[in-house]
A = this chain, B = another copy of it.
Amino acid sequence: MFGFMRVIYNEQMADLANLLGEMAGLAGSAMERATQSLLQADLLLAEQVITESDRIAEMNTLAEEKAFALLALQAPVAGDLRQVVSAIQIVADVNRMGALALHVAKVARRRHPNHALPESVNGYFAEMGRIAVNMGAAAKEVLETRDPERAAQLNEDDEAMDDLHRHLFTLLMDREWKYGVAAAVDVTLLGRYYERFADHAVEIGRRVVFLVTGVLPPDADVESETI
C-alpha cells in the first residue's frame, strides 16, 4: 500500500484505535461510578451507569463495522492486517469490561435502598474499584499509545487485584463471617465481576504487546484461581 491508500489506511486505523481507547475509557468511568453506587447505595448513580451502558454497546457495533470496512476496502497485509485483527479481538474485551461495570451497577440497584455490601468489605471493593478504574485508564492509554511497557504493567495491576480477591474469599470462607448467605452470594459475584474486568484489561495489554513486539505474552495469569 502506497501513497493515497496508505494515508487513508492510517487515518482509518487511527480512528479505530481511538474508538477502542474511548470504549476502554468509558468502561473505566462506568466502573468508577458503579463502584460509587455500590459503596454508597446510590440509586441515581447506578441508574446512570445502566442507562449509559447502551453507548458502549453501540460503539462495539461501530468498531466491528469499522474493522470490517478496513479489511474490505483496504485489504491490509502483514503488520497492518495484524492491527485490524487485533482490533476485532480487543473490541470484545472492552465491550465485556463495560458489561461487567453494568453488572456491578445492577447489583447496587437491586439491593437499594439497602447496601449490597456488609460494611466490613467496603474497603476491599473501594480498592478493587480503584484498581479496575486505573486498569481501564491504562488500557485506554495503551490502545492509544501502543506503549508495550505500560501494556505489560497491566499484569502487575492484575496481581494486586488477585491479591485483594483472594483475601476477600478468605473472609467469606471464615467461620467469623456473620452477614449471612445472601450477602456472601452478592460479594462472591461482585468480586468476580471486578476480577474479570481486570482480566480483560490484561488481555488488551497482551494483544498490544503482541502487535508491537510480535510475541504474545503467556496468559497463565489471565484467570487466576482464587478459591
Contact = CB atoms under 8 A, between A and B. Distances in A.
Contacts of A223: 99, 103
Interface string A190-201: 001000000000
Contacts of A173: 181-182, 185
Nearest to A78: B72
Interface string A176-213: 01001110111011001000000000000000000000
Interface residues of A, number: 33
A61 to B, nearest CB: 8
Contact of A189 (B72, B77, B188): B188
B81 A71 contact: yes
Interface in A77-92: 77-78, 81-82, 85, 88-89, 92
A220 to B, nearest CB: 10
A185 B75 CA distance: 49
A225 interface: yes
Nearest to A73: B77
A110 B225 CA distance: 10
A223 B192 CA distance: 15
Contacts of A106: 225
Contact of A68 (B68, B85, B110, B169): B85
Contact of A85 (B88, B192, B225): B88
Contacts of A188: 184-185, 188-189
A67 interface: yes
Contact of A110 (B172, B181, B182, B227): B227
Interface in A157-175: 169, 172-173
A40 B99 CA distance: 34
B82 A68 contact: yes
Contacts of A82: 68
9 contacts: A68-B82, A71-B71, A72-B81, A92-B92, A106-B225, A169-B185, A173-B181, A188-B188, A188-B189
Given A71-B85, A184-B184, 8 more contacts: A67-B85, A72-B77, A99-B223, A103-B223, A177-B181, A180-B181, A181-B184, A189-B227
